[in-house]
Structure 1
Amino acid sequence: MRKQILLGFSLLASFVVRAQDSTTTATPGKFTFSGYMDTYYFGNFNSPPDQLNIGAAGGARAFDQRAGQFGVGLVQGKATYTSDKVDAVFDLTWGSFADLGNYGNVFSLNSGAATSTALAIKQAYITLKASPKLSFTAGQFGTHIGYEVIDAPVNYNYSLSNLFNNGPFYHIGLKAQYAFSDRVYLMAGIVNNVDRVYDNNHAKGFIAQLFVSPAKGWNVYLNTAISNEADKKANGKDSTGMYAIYDLTTTYQITDKFMLGLNAVTGWQTGGYQQGANPYATATYTTKSTNWGGVAGYANYAFTGKFGMGVRYDYFDNSGAARALLAADGISGVTVKSLTITGNITVADGHVLLKPEFRMDSYNKDKFYDSNSVLKKSQATLGMAAIFKF
């Protein structure tokens, strides 16, 4: 396998060199620097004793985990170089959300080290443009799967959906993209695995995306990631622990003010190391095959150039207990329905976004503590996020 990959890289390098040499002289590149930071406060109507809104077994929300406290989510500094022949991105992040988004990363290759600058790397990749239609990207890049991203200024809602929270978040590897036209492109690539910088076995994962724009303002993305996620056995051979996810993301800008969106996902994993209650802890080995899936609908309306409202309803089925959404016992699988209503207020010449937000999470089993430490099936939070971007 390694020989085939090295041979493929050699052929790819030769092709890119010939393709770039055949193009005309490139115009000078452009360097840009951007970033953001976000801070928030959310109150929990259940008033749990420890002010956690993540539920008794954890995992109810992957990022905005604490209520009744002020918090800083993520600080980003992103440098981008763009030219006719190459793009390069250095996307560094700090803060609690940055660590959570890198949950599969090892702290350090140095034995005994508690922290590492590797956790600051959100994205770091190079894109070579072999032709106006064909490009190759290598490095660490955010996942192509899903409707939402980790970047708070990009999402309309501040809290992230259950579909996003169950990943994947990022990949590291090589991908190629070919644009058949302005309305159709295909991306495919090989990666180490899912949500992990270093490969834990000999196998490589496969990723792909098909983009189609059937009409003006209507975008459709068909996405997948397939990977053997099991660790190597003591004899050096790989265990079987296949992971696969299939994702549909679509948006339709009906008018300049009104947009609809949809995200539907189904996934399965069989054998190998499957995740338990804590998505940031070591998974346990199992031989069972488990499916999960969900759907999320979005509607956003801009009343003015500086004020809008967005509604999201999402449903996630983790009855098989493969992913992180579990009941209070930390074992039983659940289904969860969430309704999120978010305002978007733009101030300070567009540099500051204020996002007041109400969210209700409803489980089919006990999940959340109230002020008397009694378990309940639902929780509601209300708060505000402030985002500065430049």
Structure 2
Amino acid sequence: MKNSMKCVVALLITGSVINGSTAQTTSLTTAERQEIINQVKQAVLDSLHNDNNPQKETFKHLTVSGYLETYYSYDFANPSNHVRQPFVYSFNRHNEVNLNFGVIKTSYDNKKIRANLGLMAGTYSNDNLAAEPGVIKNVFEANAGFKLSKTKQLWLDAGIFSSHIGFESAIGKDCWNLTRSLMADNSPYYETGVKISYTSDNEKWFVSGLILNGWQRVYRPDGNNTPAFGHQLTWKPNEKLTLNSSSFIGSDAPDSIRVMRYFHNLYGMFQFNDYIGLTLGFDIGIQQNSKGSNQYNPWYSPVAILRISPSEKTAIGIRGEYYSDAKGTIIATGTPNGFQTWGYSINFDYNINKYFIWRIEGRGFTSKDQIFMLNNAPSNHNFFVTTSLAVSF
């Protein structure tokens, strides 16, 4: 082996081979030099493809992905502080180019253990994690889990997760509209806790149970030691139909003034053909008036989204929605009728290539009370236009 290494070094430097026994130099022909180079290359490749190579075993289960979405939004109310609306938690800056959401994520999964770590930045994280301290504002995901069964897809995971509620997420390219719906912006985007989940052998059923720190919480509110619970049940018999039920039960207040919140999300996604899809969703929740009370304040929100894809590169999204929170449980307005608002939007998407997508959307709100501003006067209406450019890998 020692003499072989000498041969390789000599070959690379001088094109000659050292004879170890006689200390003489033997010149090689061009064909002989090329043969040795090919042998070295093959040895390196064999080493890299060796299944017993621990480095290869680790890296083949490791993936790195990223997503970045910049945007510009113009609100015709023209707010001087550049904040569009207090009940919107994504794409919420007016008349400025900004970063809505950027994330770099590393995942590991060897079919027995798995882990995810994602770090993020942008106005999305600033708005949604405003109550969280320090560096936690920049954590998109941080969780780990292990498989509980050798034969079934039964897992136990713990950490910070994307929410089990709803069909929308922070990853804009996976959503049919540029901006998020009222129900998405006003229900959890993320959660922290532990969950057990099961996927059926035919992958048509998914069910999970969760114990959580609270309603979109990493840190519990001070004085709150009441665990929150949730469930998710998804049925996907084929690629054209998805039905989902998710729930939350818990309190978001200190135990001394604990008020219980009960919430359910239901949605269906229907892909009729390659060109037309429809999503229907409905949120409903109730929360106690006060600790121990039998009186509850309700809120609810239906949404319908039609997606038309004229070609592989283009898509159109049309959305109609309504959000009713008369008592201001989730969205406080301080007005007689609370937040009772209709929403409508239309967006156009253009997939530049497999990495980049450009989108533009017009969206409006109409409320029962004058909760908006227009031309420096209270108004029932609000309208804005948003465009974005996103890249993913």
Q: Quote the Cα distance in structure 2 between the aligned partners of 1:386 and 1:199.
A: 35
Residues 1:215 and 1:307: Cα distance change in structure 2 (over 3 Å)? closer
Aligned residue pair count: 330
Q: Look up the match of 2:213.
A: 192
Q: Deviations over 1:121-170 (max 9, x none)?
A: 11111121223321111111011111211222221212111101111122
Structure with greater helix percent: 2
Aligned residues of 1:102 and 1:119 also touching (Cα < 8 A): yes
Structure 2: unaligned runs, 5 residues or longer: 1-56
SS at match of 1:119: helix
SS at match of 2:127: helix
Q: Look up the match of 1:227.
A: 250
Moved more, 172-181 or 361-370: 172-181
Q: Could you tell me which of 341, 345, 349 is aligned with 1:344?
A: 349
Provide TM-score, normalisation by structure 1: 0.79
Q: Quote the Cα distance in structure 1 between the aligned partners of 2:158 and 2:272.
A: 35
Given residue 75 of structure 2, which amino acid in structure 1 is its aligned partner? Answer: N
Aligned residues of 1:44 and 1:68 also touching (Cα < 8 A): yes
Q: Deviations over 1:25-61 (max 9, x none)?
A: xx8652111111111112223445555431xxx32x2
- 2:366 pairs with 1:359: no
Aligned residues of 1:230 and 1:272 also touching (Cα < 8 A): no
Identity across aligned pairs (percent)?
Answer: 20
Q: Could you tell me which of 335, 338, 354 is aligned with 1:333?
A: 338
Q: Could you tell me which of 304, 311, 317 is aligned with 1:304?
A: 311
1:202-351 equivalences in 2 (<5 Å): 202-214=225-237, 216-233=239-256, 239-271=257-289, 289-324=296-331, 326-327=332-333, 329=334, 333-347=338-352, 349-351=353-355
1:1-390 equivalences in 2 (<5 Å): 29-48=60-79, 50-54=81-85, 58-59=86-87, 61-105=88-132, 107=133, 116-131=134-149, 132-180=152-200, 181-200=202-221, 201-214=224-237, 216-233=239-256, 239-271=257-289, 289-324=296-331, 326-327=332-333, 329=334, 333-347=338-352, 349-371=353-375, 373-390=376-393
Higher RCO, Cα 8 Å, sep 6+:
1
Q: Quote the Cα distance in structure 2 between the aligned partners of 1:120 and 1:331.
A: 38
Q: Look up the match of 1:4.
A: none
Aligned residues of 2:101 and 2:170 also touching (Cα < 8 A): no
Moved more, 334-343 or 92-101: 92-101
SS at match of 1:223: strand
Given residue 77 of structure 1, which amino acid in structure 2 is its aligned partner? Answer: I
Q: Deviations over 1:325-373 (max 9, x none)?
A: x44x4675121111111111011x32111011110111111022222x1
Aligned residues of 2:341 and 2:366 also touching (Cα < 8 A): yes
Aligned residues of 1:240 and 1:271 also touching (Cα < 8 A): no
